[in-house]
Structure 1
Amino acid sequence: MKPWQFETTVTDVRTDARGTWVALESTLFYAEGGGQPPDVGTLDGQPVLDVQRVEEVVWHLVEPGLERGTFVTGIVDEAIRHDHSIQHTAQHVLTALLEDEYGIQTLSFGIGQEESSLEIETETLDWTQIESLERDVQRIIFENRPVSTYELASAEVEVDRLRKPTDRTGMIRIVDIEGLDYNACGGTHVETTGQLGIVHVTSMKKVRGNVRLTYVAGHRALSAIHSSRTALRTIHQTLSTTNETVAARVLEERNLRLERDKEVKALEARVAKAKVAAFLQEDNYVITHIGKTEAETLTTTIVERIAATGRIAVGANHTGQKLWLMHDGTHDIAIGKFLKRTLDDLGIGRGGGSHKQAQARFESVIELERATAEIVKRLQEGMVSC
């Protein structure tokens, strides 16, 4: 029999909105809990889509077909189980070090598909502290400390050693990392800290007055390093930089881009002024501007300037496949309602807005042109009652 393969009998079946759930006489599948996702695998070749524990019964979500009394073979996906065990054990090490070395408590924990996260009880944390934390974690990994899991009767638990108090009774599962952590935990873990490989913090974000750290461990960390190296190598090749000069070069490029953006905006303002001046030579109630190649920002600037003169402005931008309608508030036309009604009549585009201005986006330039023509027609013919 393969590792993580077992044979058992279906003892109960129930259904709900999600599908068919089966309970088994015995199971190796881990049910979701404590921040750790459920195991995945198969029962008689059918994928196990979810595993949940309800009142001490482990239920497995499967495709319909398994009936009570059926003898089945279960296989747990060993690679995913091992990955979850690595991420969970890494959390124990991070939590213990954060509390022991920095006086910071862990509030919550979760394993995601790509990254895991910790919310920790502190308002501030900087990357110098995170790098120091990572070095501490790596020291624990190099020491290859044993990670033991065992069950004790509640009376036998060394309560004073518990990392976090527990209100569980009866038999309690303990996770013990030698000289570092002693905790009540029902999750899965590796056998030694050396199996974590490397633990890498990927981001830090303030949430609810606390800090959320995301991290990766094991193969996830290796994949993250490979991804970062690929991105860095691309920057080196594009900007002719080295590891020592890349940060300064990127900042230089950013500053140059900001300067170019200022120049572009100044030029756009001049272009908009000239185009609006030309439009105002026309004695039209509705003025339409079509921007076939220009940036959206230029189109919106032109539309705003036309509207400010007391006209109704219609602007279409081919690049973004967007349309704007605007007036200065002196007209009775409810632009947002008018635009929405027109789009509904045409059966194209998505948009709306307020009394004075509105915008819409389309799936194609053809739709944009069709909507623009119909809107201008209705405005000119006075078909705007709302």
Structure 2
Amino acid sequence: MDQHTVNTIVTSVKQDNKGHWHTLENSPFYAEGGGQPADRGSIGSHDVLDVQIENGEVWHLLSEGLSTGTPVAVRIDEDVRRDHSIQHTAQHLLTAILEDRHGIRTLSFGIGEEDSSIEIETAAMDWTQIEALEQEIQQLIFDNHPVHVYEIPDEKVDRPRLRKATNRTGMIRIVEIEGIDYNACGGTHVEMTGQLGMIQVTSLKKVRGNIRLTYVAGNRALKATQRAREALRTIHHTFSTTNETVAARVIEEHTIRLEREKEIKTLEERIAKAKVKAVLQEDNYVALHVGRTEAETLTTAIIERIAATGRIAVGANYSAQKLFVMHDGTHDIAVGTFLRAALQEMQIGRGGGNHKQAQARFTSVSELERGMEEIVRRLQEGGLPC
């Protein structure tokens, strides 16, 4: 039997809306705490869904209940334990280097499903600084510093060396990265810094006047590198670029797209003017425009222009399967209430709006056409359900 498997017995059981919680005579599971998620694994044939500490007892969540006194084989998910240990030890390294070499304190820490993060006490940081930090960290990984985890009586703790003061008494669990960090910590950690492999900062964001660094380590860092490489290969293949030219090419394509969008907007404005002119040649109280192939933005621009002339404007966009109803505010009808009530009577589409404008979405073009015809008819005949 390996170090991740223990034979024990169930000592107590309770139930809540999450499931069945169990305590064990001897539990190897790490309970959630200190920014680190709980271990995963199994108790007997049941997956452990969560592990929490309550009044000093470790409670394990299962989907089904076991009887008190039941002998069970308990196994920790080794991959999850290793991953959490890597992410947590990586945080110790980041915190130590940021504080000792750069005078920046770590304020909070958390391990997520995909990445981990620390909030650090600084108002600004840029990617040049991040890359220099990663190089410092990588050297410590290459140096393969030992990581010692041990318990000592509180009176023997070298409190001036502690990374963060602790008010714990009795036996204190110390995590010491030789020559780098000395901390009172209850989490799981690797045995040597070389086991971290690599630490990559993936994002930085301003929060509450500080900076939040998101990072990945170990296999998470490897997977992040592979995803980035795959994305870069796709860009290379699409634009026939190299690592040296890819940035310039992407910027060039972005500039071209912006110029095309400006041209499209100018053309849409011309088209809108022409279509509005054509609609207004018909002296109708209700003006209808049908956009069978045009973009939704063009349809709404046309309807807004028609409504501005004092008509009640109805527009249909086939690609979005949407219907629009607008006026300039001089009409008594609240088109939002009207449209919603009409759709409820027809039992098609969903929509609403306010006094001056409303829209509805349909599940098919045939529904859209049916709704459009009925809405126009009711508006023209004054058969308003509101």
Same fold (TM over 0.5): yes
Pairing of 1:60-209 with structure 2 (within 5 A): 60-209=60-209
Q: 1:67 to 1:349 in 2, by over 3 A?
A: farther
Which residue of the partner structure matches residue 288 of structure 2? 288
Instruction: State the SS of the aligned residue for 1:152.
Output: strand
Q: Given that residues 13 and 65 in structure 2 are in contact (C-alpha distance below 8 angstroms), is that contact kept between their aligned partners in structure 1?
A: no
Q: Secondary structure at the residue paired with 2:367?
A: helix
Structure 2: gaps spanning 5 or more residues: none
Identity of aligned residues (%): 66
- CA contact under 8 A between 1:241 and 1:249: conserved in structure 2? yes
**CA distance in structure 2 between the partners assigned to 1:362 and 1:102 by the alignment:** 58
Deviation at 1:201, TM superposition (A): 0.6
Distance 1:191 1:326, change over 3 A: same
Question: Distance in 1 between the 2:98 and 2:343 partners?
Answer: 56
Which SS does the other structure have where 1:187 is aligned? coil
Aligned-pair CA distance for 1:44: 0.9
Distance 1:351 1:209 in 2: 41
Give the deviation of 1:186 after TM superposition. 0.9
Report which stretch shifted further, 160-169 or 266-275. 160-169
The one-letter amino acid paired with 2:188 is: T
Contact 1:333 1:385 in 2 (8 A): no
Change (3 A) 1:343 1:47: farther
Question: How many residue pairs are counted as aligned between the two chains?
Answer: 386
| Aligned equivalent of 2:297 | 297
Alignment partner of 1:172: what SS? strand
- 1:53 aligned onto 2:53: yes
2:29 aligned with 1:13, yes or no?
no
Contact kept, 8 Å, 1:108 with 1:119, in 2: the verdict is yes
CA–CA separation in structure 2 for the residues paired with 1:293 and 1:188: 59
CA shift at 1:348, angstroms? 4.0
Q: Which residue of 1 is the match for residue 38 of structure 2?
A: 38
Runs of 4+ in structure 1 off by over 6 angstroms are none
Is 2:321 aligned against 1:321? Answer: yes
Matched, 1:341 2:323: no
**Quick one: distance in 2 between partners of 1:119 and 1:363?**
46
Kindly state the Cα deviation for residue 185 of structure 1 after the two structures are TM-superposed: 1.0
Structure 2: distance between partners of 1:348 and 1:183? 64
Residue in 2 that maps onto 1:352: 352
Q: 1:370: Cα distance to partner?
A: 3.3
Asked if structure 1 preserves the Cα contact closer than 8 Å seen for 2:21 and 2:65, the reply is no
Q: CA deviation at 1:34?
A: 0.9
- Cα distance 1:363–1:182, how it changes in 2: closer, same or farther (>3 A)? farther
What letter matches 2:344 in structure 1? D
Change beyond 3 A, Cα 1:2–1:339: farther
**Aligned partners of 1:36 and 1:111 also within 8 Å:** yes
Deviations 1:271-329 (A, max 9, x none): 11100100001122222222222111111111111111111112222222333221111
Larger mean CA deviation between 239-248 and 279-288 belongs to: 279-288
For structure 1, the 5+ residue unaligned runs are none
DSSP-derived class of the 1:67 partner:
coil
Write the distance in 2 (CA, Å) between the matches of 1:144 and 1:350: 62
Q: Deviations over 1:25-77 (max 9, x none)?
A: 11111111111111111111111111111111111110223111111111111
Using the size of structure 2 for normalisation, the TM-score is 0.96
